[in-house]
Chain A
Amino acid sequence: MNPPFLRIGAGAGYSGDRIEPAVELAEKGRLDYLVFECLAERTIALAQQRRAHNPEEGYDPLLEARMAACLPACKRNRVRIITNMGAANPVAAMKKTAAVAERLGLKGLKIAAVTGDEVTDRIRNMDLRLLESGEPLNSLRDVMISANAYLGARPIVKALDAGADIVITGRVADPALFSAALIHEFGWSFTDFGRLGKGTVLGHLLECAGQVTGGFFADPGYKDVPDLARLGFPIAAASADGDFVLTKVPGSGGRITTATCKEQLLYEIHDPARYYTPDVVADFTGVRFEPLEADRIRVTGGAGNPKTGLLKVSVGYLDGFIGEGQMSYGGPGAVGRGQLALDIVRERLAFLGIEPADAQFDLIGVNSLYRSALPAGAPAEVRARVAVRTADRSIAQKVAEEVEALYTNGPAGGGGAVKSVREVMAVRSVLIPADLVSTEIHFQNS
Chain B
Amino acid sequence: MQLREIAHSRTGDKGNIANISVIAYRESDYPILEKYVTTERVKAFFGDLVTGEVIRYELPGLGALNFVLHGALAGGVTRSLRLDAHGKSLSSALLGMEIG
Contact = CB atoms under 8 A, between A and B. Distances in A.
Interface string A368-380: 1111111000000
A209 to B, nearest CB: 15
Interface in B8-34: 8-10, 12-17, 19, 21, 23, 25
Of the candidates B21, B25, B46, B96, the one having the most CB atoms from chain A within 10 angstroms of its own CB is: B21
Of the candidates B19, B62, B93, the one having the most CB atoms from chain A within 10 angstroms of its own CB is: B62
Contacts of B46: 370, 373
A362 B83 CA distance: 9
17 contacts: A219-B8, A222-B8, A266-B12, A268-B12, A268-B19, A270-B68, A271-B57, A285-B61, A358-B81, A360-B81, A364-B83, A369-B93, A370-B93, A371-B47, A371-B48, A373-B49, A427-B15
Interface string A264-306: 1111111111000000000011111100000000000100000
Of the candidates B25, B78, B93, B96, the one having the most CB atoms from chain A within 10 angstroms of its own CB is: B78
B76 A262 contact: no
Interface residues of A, number: 53
Interface in B59-100: 59, 61-64, 66, 68, 74-79, 81-84, 89-90, 93, 96
Contact of B45 (A216, A217, A358, A373): A373
Contacts of A428: 15
Interface of A: 41-42, 131-132, 216-217, 219, 222-223, 259, 262-273, 284-289, 301, 319, 322, 358-360, 362, 364, 368-374, 385, 387-389, 424-429
A263 B23 contact: yes
> Dominant SS at the B interface?
mixed
A350 B59 CA distance: 50
A131 B16 CA distance: 11
Nearest to B14: A268
A322 B83 CA distance: 12
Contacts of A371: 47-49
A358 B75 contact: yes
B13 to A, nearest CB: 7
B21 A267 contact: yes
Contacts of B82: 360, 368-369
B47 A373 contact: yes
Given A272-B57, A374-B96, A385-B83, A132 B15 contact: yes
Contacts of B21: 262-263, 266-267, 269
